[in-house]
Structure 1
Amino acid sequence: MPNDTIWSYASDLGPARDHDLTGYSVAASDGTIGHVDRQADHHGMRHLVVDTGVWVFGRSQLVPVGMVEGIDTGERKVTLACTRAEVKGAPRFRTDSETQDPVYLTSVGDYYRGLSGGAGPTC
């Protein structure tokens, strides 16, 4: 699983992918969804935990970094390759321990991989 592209930043993001993205705003293809609360890399499954604020009833959503299609360090903004509804439809993130649970992370990866019909990380 660690070599799966859904858990790796696209190489064309360059050095921006090495920045601490905590606090960056997060936009889906159809609008802003929140901000990066934290980023993690457990079991080789690199991901962002996005605080959606009131948009998804105060929940956070876990997003694999393979869904990131752009990082603007000047604007402090991350752009995702999917819609707001697709992020909202991902497996529900409930507790911080899930960021370390390979079963939960696998279900998230499978969901996002399925958005593109298995052809890659873009929706």
Structure 2
Amino acid sequence: MQPFPFAPWTWRDPTWLPGVDTGAERGRDTAGTGDRPDTGLIGYAVEATDGAIGKVDEDNAEVPADCLMVDTGPWIFGRKVVLPVGTVQRVDHQERRVYVDRTKEQIKDAPEYDPDDTDRDGYRQRTGDYYSESYRLVPPML
């Protein structure tokens, strides 16, 4: 059990994001990222605890800034999944990889994203509940 409740919609460490001024990266070009610093992660490979699951999709801007849209490619029949940013364990900008602390199976079993679903709040609630429960049952491996 985690010593604190899982916060699915909060970055664990926002300094992972490209364009966040950590002092060490002054002068880095962050043009075009606007209010969505996560757009700098588009195209990054996404790794679950047990292997690759896809890449941060170019349609990432269609979901709230506290989510990442991942194109799974052929892994789960070209399905796109939405991961709360709280699942991100770390980001490696040199390797262009986002590491999440959930398994491929946990991600595959998450509520399916439907871009035509008008119940955005309901989907957000189902997704948040699903991942919060997954952290209660199987804490992250840090």
Paired position in structure 1 for 2:11: 9
1-structure distance, mates of 2:51, 2:116: 26
Count how many residue pairs are aligned between Structure 1 and Structure 2.
115
Consecutive unaligned residues of structure 1, counting only runs of 5 or more, are none
| Bigger radius of gyration | 2
Is 1:106 the counterpart of 2:125? The answer is yes
1-structure distance, mates of 2:130, 2:66: 15
Paired position in structure 2 for 1:67: 87
1-structure distance, mates of 2:53, 2:112: 15
1-structure distance, mates of 2:129, 2:138: 12
CA 1:15 to 1:86, structure 2 compared with 1: closer, same or farther past 3 Å? closer
Superposition RMSD in Å: 2.5
Identity of aligned residues (%): 35
Output the TM-score relative to the length of structure 1.
0.80
Alignment check: 8 A CA contact 1:21 1:39 kept: no
- The alpha carbon displacement at 1:119 in A equals 9.1
Consecutive unaligned residues of structure 2, counting only runs of 5 or more, are 1-5, 19-36
- Which stretches of structure 1, 4 residues or longer, exceed 4 Å deviation after superposition? none
